[in-house]
Structures are given as structure tokens and as C-alpha cells.
Amino acid sequence: MLRDVVFSDIYLGQGASWLAGVPGKLDPVPTPPECASELAEIRAKCDAFVAENHKEEFAIRPRDVAYRVSVLKSLNEVVYVLRRFPEEVPKLDDLGLHPGYVEKLMEPRLTGLLVISGAFGQGKTTTASSVICARLSKYGGVAISIEDPPEMPLEGRHGEGVCYQTWVEQGGFSQACRQAARWAPSMIFVGEVRDPETATEALRASINGRLVVCTAHADSVVMAVERLYTLANGAAGNSEDVASLLSNGLIAVVHQRLEGDQKRLKTESIWLAGEESKGARNTIYQRRFSHLQNEVTLQLNRLLMGKKTAA
């Protein structure tokens, strides 16, 4: 069965199928012959979903294994690219984050906008989900997720807290964000900030005493901040108001990537809590985003020096 094979992705073609992310192997690897009938079953489910819903990105759960599916239309065939998700949300302590990051992510009464940024396939949703589960388990409260499609198994109880997952069509994220804020949760998870309206609503929700967690495609911390500003400015239309909203609402950006065969997590970040971050907030307000790299480097050095001191 496929659930017994270690991989990250399936390229499910009409003729041949391939695996990616197999430890110790160069991509792609042919799918095991004994899984042919299971793969045919998965392809039939994908065909049926696309025919009925006319969507090119969705989630399925054949044989209790969850996948996010994207439709790839090549010159010769339709290929379904399936990203496999864990059967349960990993523990925050097990992700490979620096203990200093974990400590910051688990601070009590943490509010504002927390952005997990990175390129496609770098584990952003996994990290965001782990943060939500860990905080619900430790502090209780209610979390509401806004996703398209829901990816990690967040629905239900986590310690004393509870999460409600919602599946919102792209284009409806901003309305869902406004509605979620009216339900007064302690946390809101926005699956991905892609459009101006969602960026604006996520920022607005973050300044009202709750933690808003979102993912965003970006190549660095600085680019993530600049992208948020550019998106929100596209909806609000007042540069100074957006800069003020961003400088007041943003609490942190954690940028991550997975490196090597073992997919080790590498991160950089900027944290905007406390008196020492007033300068960084002012830099954001002045829209001098490129200058934020100095603060990113400074905070990283403090983190590493703290580690050496502790040793």
C-alpha cells in the first residue's frame, strides 16, 4: 500500500506515475508495481472530483491518507500532482525549529499577525498548524481555519482548546476572515494570503486582540513583509494607513526552507514584540523594507549568542 511507502509527492499520469521525495533517491522514482490498483483508484477519484467541481486544486483522502491535489496539464496528458500530508499534526518541538523560536511562538497572550513564509513545498502549513495545535493544547481557546483546501487534520479538540476548519473558495477568503472575526476566536488561521482583500482583512483582524496565523509565498523575511504591504495597499488604497496597519498588526515573520535529503528546517525571522522592536516597526511604517534585513541579522545574532551563553 502507498501508506507504507515513504515519499512526499506523486505525479499521477495517465500512463506512468512517479514518486518524489523518496529518501536517498533522486527524483523521480517509479511507483511500485504492487500499488497500481490503488493509484488507479486515486486517479478515478481525482477525475470524478474535477468533473463535478471544475476545480484544479483540491484535497482527497483515499484509504485514510490525505493528499492535496493540483492539476498539471502537459502537452500530452493530464497529470495529478498529489502532495501527501501527515496523518496527524507534528508536535511543534519536533519540527527542528531553534528552541528560541519555539519559546517565542509559545509566549502567552501572543497577539497580532504571525506570517510563516517560504517557497512552495517548504512546510509552511505544517509549521502553522503545529503552532495552532500547540497553543490550543497549552492555553485553550478557539481557533478557526480558513483554507482552500483544508490540508492538516486540525478539526476538533486539542487539549483544552478546539479548532473548527472551514473550506473557503479562493475569492471568498476576505469575507470568511471578516465573518471569523465576528465569531470571537482566540486564533484565526488563514491558509494563504494571495489577494489584496485577504491581506487587508488579516491585518485588521490582527489588531483586535487575537493571534492571526497565515502563510505566504516569499523568498525572504523582507520580501514577505513587502508582499503583505503591496497586497494590502492594493485593496485599501491609502499607503499611510496600510503602513500603519502593518507596523501595528504584524508580530512576526518566520521564513523557512527545507534543506538536504533529510529535509532539515532552516529559518530566519523578525519578531516585533517589546520595546527593542520599536525601530523595526518604525522602519515598516516608513516603508523602508529593505532596511529590515539589518534587524533580521541582529536578531539572529542575538539568538545564536544566547545559545553560546547557555552552553
Q: What confidence tens digit (pLDDT) does each residue in 169-213 have?
A: 766 888 899 899 889 999 999 988 988 999 999 999 999 889 999
Q: Residue type at 258?
A: L
Q: What's the pLDDT score for residue 311?
A: 41
Contact indicator for 33, 19 with CB cutoff of 8 Å: no
Q: Which one-letter amino acid corresponds to residue 128?
A: A
User: What's the pLDDT score for residue 88?
Assistant: 87
The pLDDT tens digits for 206-248 are 998 899 999 999 999 999 999 999 999 887 667 788 999 999 9
CA pair distance 123, 39, nearest whole angstrom? 25
- Where in the chain does DSSP place strands (E)? 9-12, 17-20, 29-30, 57-60, 67-73, 78-84, 112-118, 142-147, 156-158, 161-167, 187-190, 211-217, 250-259, 264-271
Which cell numbers hold the place of 264? Answer: 532539515
Q: In the chain, which residues have pLDDT < 70?
A: 170-171, 236-237, 261, 307-311
Give all domains of the chain, ordered by start, each with its CATH number.
2-84 (3.30.450), 92-310 (3.40.50.300)
In this structure, the chain runs to a length of 311
For residue 261, what pLDDT is reported?
67
The model carries a pTM of 0.84
Residue 291: predicted pLDDT: 93
pLDDT at 310: 45
